[in-house]
Amino acid sequence: MAGSSSHHIRNICVFGGSSPRKEKEFLGSANHLGQVLAERKIHLMYGGGSLGLMGGVAITVFLGGSQVLGVVPEALTKEDIIGKIIGEELQVSTMYDRLNAMFNYVDAFIALLGGLGTLEEIFHISSWAQLHIYHKPIGLLNVNGFYDNLLSFLDQAVEQEF
């Protein structure tokens, strides 16, 4: 992955669901994000694999000519859970090691739609930001209001001073 700059996003980490989805609009949003990243020559770091939204964004970025690095914990390499790695692969020991590697390599984070794994990654990175461990942008791609309830919950937590 190319080196990072504080003024320009060169490397981005994208979180999102890896399970195959039927909703064409969700996959379309992942593909569109991949096109934008490739057009802007932004390199992608992601959880690895060719399945679901994560696979969609990775394939599109790779075909668009930008670098792609999948960070895969050893446990996920033993079974065919995530499909084939797109681009380069970095194997790590644990899910925590994966997130830590992503944090160290990228300039920003964006979350596509996803389930518990995506939520875990969003909350982990967000809590690090709240604790002032780093100052990197975090974004949610809120397709069809997917994250509306989560955002309402977070607004409530802020209102209640949590």
Going by pLDDT thresholds of 50, 70 and 90, the confidence category of residue 38 is very high
Q: What CATH code is carried by the domain that includes residue 46?
A: 3.40.50.450
Residue bearing the bigger pLDDT, 151 or 52: 151
Q: Is 142 left (phi over 0), alpha (psi -120 to 50) or beta?
A: beta
Please check the confidence at residue 49 and state whether its pLDDT lies above 50. yes
Report how far apart, in Å, the C-alpha atoms of 9 and of each of 13, 66, 101, 111 are: 11, 13, 17, 16
In a domain, 5, yes or no: no
In a domain, 67, yes or no: yes
In a domain, 61, yes or no: yes
In a domain, 1, yes or no: no
Residue 22 confidence (pLDDT): 62
Q: Is 112 left (phi over 0), alpha (psi -120 to 50) or beta?
A: beta
Mean pLDDT of 6-16: 86
Locus of tokens 């997130």: 99
Q: Would you list the DSSP string of 42-61?
A: -EEEES--SSHHHHHHHHHH
Residue 24 confidence (pLDDT): 77
pLDDT in tens, 23-33: 678 889 999 99
Mean pLDDT of 60-72: 95
Residue 21 confidence (pLDDT): 63
Mean pLDDT of 136-141: 93
Going by pLDDT thresholds of 50, 70 and 90, the confidence category of residue 62 is very high
Please check the confidence at residue 79 and state whether its pLDDT lies above 90. no
Residue 8 confidence (pLDDT): 85
In a domain, 131, yes or no: yes
pTM metric for this prediction: 0.86
In a domain, 6, yes or no: no
Kindly list the strands in the beta sheet with 88-92, ordered across the sheet, starting from the edge strand earlier in the chain: 88-92, 68-73, 43-46, 11-15, 108-111, 138-140
Q: How many domains does one find in the chain?
A: 1
Q: Residue 58: how many CB atoms within 10 A of its CB?
A: 30
Going by pLDDT thresholds of 50, 70 and 90, the confidence category of residue 4 is very low
Range of the domain at 95: 11-159
Please check the confidence at residue 75 and state whether its pLDDT lies above 90. no
In a domain, 2, yes or no: no
Per-chain mean pLDDT for the chain: 88
